[in-house]
Structure 1
Amino acid sequence: MSSADKNLSVFSTEGLPDISQRKFAIVVAEWNSEVTEKLFEGAYATLIRYGALAKNIERGNVPGSFELTLGAHWYAQREDIDAVVALGVVIQGETKHNDYINHAVAQGITNVSIKTNKPVIFGVLTPNNMEQALERSGGVHGNKGDEAAITAIKMLGLQEKITNRRG
């Protein structure tokens, strides 16, 4: 279902794990900061709303979305980090740069998650234009940052269930 049909900030919160002792990293692309700052605000607020402590949320900035993979990897390698949320936006332009960047970042984030055995969440918008980006970063379609943060929480819950690590 596309975000045109679903609000990114509306999701089930049933059965969320206790995240009060979990540590999160949020990696934010600086390119298109008018959008990525809103994504960060959404992700941060969602983590706090569902039990994360402010002292357990660390932010790292990278120049652009392409660099999200390496920034996420550095955080995910740290033993004290439980989950990483990578936030960026790649707006389709007149060239195919967005196809190459989006594919590379999606594959890179997946590889980091598998390699580190930690939730590393792809919170990258891939809109056709700035209007769509704004609609999905706190506008009429909600906030992808909210969705990315709740995804991190839910993945930690699944990890707990499967590995019986906590609780």
Structure 2
Amino acid sequence: MKTFEGNKDTKKLNLAIIQSKFNKNICERLLAGALSCLRENSVDEELIDIVKVPGAFEIPLAADKLAAQKKYDAIICLGAVIKGETAHFEYVSKAVTDGLLKVNLKYGVPVIFGVLTTYTEEQAEERAGENENNKGWESAEAALEMANLVRKLNNH
């Protein structure tokens, strides 16, 4: 019996990070968390591309364009959708979730969902804290593991 599991081997991993500019303070903290994790795991910064999009709704298109290049071992998507007084929150959250899932399956590239979908700004701030309390950090860890797992599965 074989067990396949990803690890944090960072040798020659090409990574992309897509960051929403909407809810700027929170998204900047998510990006800082992701980069901190990647640095701590010795990822070569020359192999990291950062793409900034206006809002979370634009993340799936950017992910699709990046995945189509077949250059990246994983794509980390960071954003924050915070519930307001209208149904906009539900529509954007669902569209982003569905869009990123489709990119994952269409290209076989790990597209990591680091988009916060919270009911309050305080909840978003809690999830954009320091290191392991930062969903950007967690998303970067997941990207490393999934990139390596997909490599293993592709070579099996």
For the criterion TM > 0.5, the same-fold answer is yes
Q: Which sections of structure 2, spanning at least 5 residues, go unmatched?
A: none
Superposed, 1:56-71 pairs within 5 Å as 56-71=47-62
Specify which structure has the higher proportion of helix: 2
For residue 36 of structure 2, the aligned residue among 45, 62, 82 is 45
> Aligned match of 1:25 in 2, 8, 16?
16
Give me the CA root mean square deviation.
Answer: 1.8
Return the offset for 1:17.
4.0
Residue 120 of structure 1 pairs with residue 111 of structure 2? yes
**1:39-98 residue CA offsets vs partner (Å, 9 max, x unmatched):** 001111112212311101110000000000001111111122111001000001101111
Q: Secondary structure at the match of 1:137?
A: coil
Deviation by residue 1:105-144 (Cα, 9 ceiling, x = unmatched):
0010000011111001111101111111111001698101
Q: TM-score, normalised by structure 2?
A: 0.91
Matches within 5 A, 1:2-21: 16-21=7-12
Q: How many pairs align?
A: 152
Residue identity over aligned pairs, in percent, reads 39
Q: Which runs of 4+ in 1 moved over 3 A?
A: none
Give the TM-score normalised by the residue count of structure 1: 0.85
Unaligned 5+ runs, structure 1: 1-13
Query: In structure 2, what is the equivalent of residue 90 of structure 1?
Result: 81
**Could you tell me how far apart the structure 2 residues matched to 1:80 and 1:159 are?**
14
